[in-house]
Amino acid sequence: MSKENNDISIDPSFNDLFEEEVSESSGIINDNEIFEDIKIFKGKPIKAVFGELYYKHVLKEEGEIAQRLHVALARFLKAKDPQDKTMFRGRLVPVVWELFGQIGQKVGNALSVEKKFFLRYALLLPSLINKDQKENIASIIKDNLIGEPIHYMDEWLEMVAMGDVTPLAVDEAPVKATKTRGDTGLRLQKDKIQGTYDGKISLIASVQKKRSRIEKSIVSDIKTLASHTSHPSIPRIEMAYSTIQKDALSSLVINAKELQKLERELSVSIQEAGCNFYEVYRRN
């Protein structure tokens, strides 16, 4: 082996490779930007949060959505057949998201601990998780003790609602109308009517989508009710409704009431949109 090879280090340093000196004080993060060491990893457990009333407190004052979710959850939990389980899970998930959206609109109004746990951890029914999971969730730190910009969803929504969130550089800036000569007032009035019309159309589309979803659920429930099995020992006699069919019947009643409510809302919105459309057309 030559002398040159013997002089080559098998573990060269950064300076040996790049012939640059790196200052010990240099670095990407300075002292003011370093996260403080986390010393507390668990909070004081909330022992009573997973009591018998937890589920009721999550659904309390949530109206029709709470009723539909309760029926959907009961049908999912009672289903034995894997195909039924999959079908009922598909119906349950959208209703859970609806509940998320509805509770999320109430942030800032002293939400109960149960509703906060639902928003933060998607915990609807404590009996679905084991004892260790309950203890872990109950011991999670509830408040921001380190002052870092890391928030639970309910905290972030409340900050947005209160205007405490600074707009990002990528956020769209508000469009301000510029003054022009002539028919400025008429144009602004026309834009206002157009905006009202567009808003009504968006609302109608949303209601129609919700109506379509409920109608599909009703069709599925009717198919479930109309599926009968013969009595094992009595000829030409069909069995009474099963538990799943009884749940489908309850779901039909709830969905029928919701359709009546949506129909009234849809009729009024269509009528108002028609008036706005006439104004937009007339001013064009």
The per-residue pLDDT for range 116-164, each reduced to its tens digit, is: 888 888 888 888 888 888 888 888 887 777 777 778 887 887 777 777 7
**Residue 130 placed within a domain:** yes
pLDDT tens figures, 28-37: 344 446 667 7
Backbone angles phi, psi at 238, to 5 degrees: -95, 155
- Say if residue 284 is in the same domain as residue 223: yes
**Residue 171 placed within a domain:** no
What region does 110 belong to: left with phi over 0, alpha with psi -120 to 50, or beta?
left
- Percentage of residues in the chain with pLDDT exceeding 90? 7
- Say if residue 51 is in the same domain as residue 153: yes
Domain containing residue 100: 42-166
- Say if residue 194 is in the same domain as residue 150: no
Beta-strand ranges (E) seen in the chain are none
Q: Which of 16-30, 37-51, 224-238 has the highest mean pLDDT?
A: 224-238
What are 238's strand-pairing partners?
A: 230
- Say if residue 156 is in the same domain as residue 189: no
Question: Which of 166, 191, 210 corresponds to the end of one domain?
Answer: 166
Residue 23: per-residue pLDDT: 47
- Say if residue 200 is in the same domain as residue 268: yes
Show Cβ contacts of residue 113 under 8 Å, excluding neighbours closer than 6 positions.
Answer: 46, 49, 57
- Axis crossing angle, helix 82-104 with helix 153-161, rounded to the nearest 10: 40
Q: Which of 63-67, 126-130, 186-190 has the lowest mean pLDDT?
A: 186-190
pLDDT mean over 33-48: 71
**How many residues would you count in the chain?**
284
Residue 88: per-residue pLDDT: 85
Instruction: Please give the structure tokens belonging to residue 2.
Output: 């030559």
**Residue 3 placed within a domain:** no
**Residue 143 placed within a domain:** yes
pLDDT mean over 234-250: 90
**Residue 7 placed within a domain:** no
Task: Give the total number of structural domains in the chain.
Answer: 2
- Say if residue 47 is in the same domain as residue 71: yes
What are 230's strand-pairing partners?
A: 238
pLDDT mean over 238-244: 90
Question: Which of 166, 190, 210 corresponds to the end of one domain?
Answer: 166
- Residue 264 confidence class, pLDDT cut points 50, 70, 90: confident
Residue 8: per-residue pLDDT: 47
- Say if residue 66 is in the same domain as residue 93: yes
Rounded distance, CA 221 to CA 21, Å?
Answer: 75
Q: Is a pLDDT exceeding 80 seen at residue 249?
A: yes
- Say if residue 57 is in the same domain as residue 105: yes
pLDDT mean over 59-83: 87
**Residue 265 placed within a domain:** yes
Average pLDDT of the chain, as a whole number:
75
**Residue 20 placed within a domain:** no
pLDDT mean over 216-241: 90
Give yes or no for a contact between 283 and 190, defined as CB atoms under 8 angstroms apart.
yes
Residue 35: per-residue pLDDT: 67
- Say if residue 140 is in the same domain as residue 218: no
Residue 70, judged by CB atoms within 10 A of its CB (0-12, 13-18, 19+), counts as middle
Residue 175: per-residue pLDDT: 47
Rounded distance, CA 197 to CA 282, Å?
Answer: 13
pLDDT mean over 166-184: 52
pLDDT mean over 256-284: 71
- Say if residue 198 is in the same domain as residue 281: yes
Which one-letter amino acid corresponds to residue 51?
G
- Say if residue 52 is in the same domain as residue 162: yes
What 3-state class would DSSP assign to 168?
A: coil
Question: Which of 132, 166, 200 corresponds to the end of one domain?
Answer: 166
- Say if residue 48 is in the same domain as residue 128: yes
Rounded distance, CA 10 to CA 30, Å?
Answer: 33
Sign of the CA dihedral with 208 first, then 211, 216, and 219 last: negative
